[in-house]
Amino acid sequence: MNRLLARQLRRAACVAWLTCCVIDTGHAQTDARAAASSALGPTSYANREDALRFAAELVARQPELEANWVRHQIEAAQFVPAVARLIMPPPAGTAKDWAAYRARFLEQERIDAGVAFWSAHAAPLREAEDRWGVPASIVVGIIGVETYFGRVMGRHRVLDALATLSFDFPPGRSDRAPFFRAELEEFLLWCVREGRDPQAVRGSYAGAMGLPQFMPSSINRYAVDFDGDGHIDLTTNPTDAIGSVAHYLATFGWERGLPTHFRVHAPNDAAERAVLLGPDIVPTFTASEFSQRGAALAPEAYDQDTLLALVELQNGSMPPTYVAGTRNFYVITRYNWSSYYASAVIELANAVAQRRQAPMPGSMSSPSKLTNP
């Protein structure tokens, strides 16, 4: 070993040791842990006082968790720089582009995969729709957008991802460390109840798991054993995943038979348009109030006794796309709090349904006659 390499290793070891001694989770600690990780590989939480304190407090709150087991899991967790990097929002000034976002999920191969998934699991999709009123196409759309029907379910150890975001949430955005600590607690509880090895479970960089990418708290609250085998398996059991997605949406208020949106031309007057956009994606206005503000709606919107939201989807330098979202559009955003996400789910659902010769009305990309009575 040459002297330069020996010096670099000694320096890296020193950084790692100093990092483990720091309790503060601000900029200095995150930078130091990232430097140590880069030089020596993943950094353990075995000697982190804040992580071990969390373990002790967790055991005090949750008597079903055994103290030595919890401490062992926390000590096995490792800081992952990629997780801290991926959780950050896009750079300031990045333009939103609905057309580009849509294209990511409406490619032909994904639509074909959706048709195959629907055909393979038609029975549980039909049963879930009958029980909770959520169309099979919407369930298919969510699983297709989330994981490409199981092709991309995440490669990170969930234990590492949640520990990294619990104890080393990166500076530069709103601190969500408390949220991820709660998710880490839910994850360990789920592992005990389901007999899972926390160190073997894989998921996204944010800790989401399975075909529908449920966070641990969502698994514990909303996931269902839809095939009745005594276990909830969202990774290798599509039936449980289908039932869990439908149950989740129903719990958040999905209305059976209500469309997700209607075609709309937003008011030309900027002030009137701003009024309709004010509540964001929360349904607030009647169809008549849309008309009074100068919006032109599809005729079928007046046949529904429902409130609407004017949803704006930016298209970069091109004019925005607008839809009139119903409560069901809003419910999809409770799965992922983004109107772009909800729109992609709806469009993929529509494309797969059309391929199966069961079209959904109201594609965001297809023409429709609009009226403003």
CA gyration radius, the chain = 24
End-to-end CA distance of the chain: 83
Q: What distance in Å separates the CA atoms of residue 213 and residue 95, rounded to the nearest whole number?
A: 26
Q: What distance in Å separates the CA atoms of residue 351 and residue 358, rounded to the nearest whole number?
A: 10
**Alpha-carbon dihedral angle through residues 25, 30, 32, 33, given to the nearest 10 degrees:** 100
CA nearest to 25, candidates 84, 88, 91? 84
How many other C-beta atoms lie within 10 A of the C-beta of residue 177? Answer: 15
> Which residues have C-beta within 8 Å of that of residue 166, sequence separation ≥ 6?
51, 54, 177, 180, 181, 183, 184
Alpha carbon 356 to chain centroid, angstroms: 27
Instruction: Specify the 3-state DSSP secondary structure of 26.
Output: coil
Alpha carbon 43 to chain centroid, angstroms: 27
Q: What distance in Å separates the CA atoms of residue 118 and residue 157, rounded to the nearest whole number?
A: 29
The residues carrying an active-site annotation are 146
Concatenated DSSP letters of 206-225: TS-BTTTTB-HHHHHHH---
287 touches 307 (CB < 8 A): no
251-254, long-range: CB < 8 A, 24+ apart: 251/222, 252/331, 252/334, 252/335, 253/327, 253/331, 254/132, 254/133, 254/134, 254/328, 254/331
- Token pair for residue 371? 């009226």
Task: Please report, for residues 104, 309, 332, the alpha-carbon distance to residue 286 in angstroms, rounded to integers and kept in the order given.
Answer: 33, 9, 20
The three-point CA angle 144-206-248 to 5° equals 50
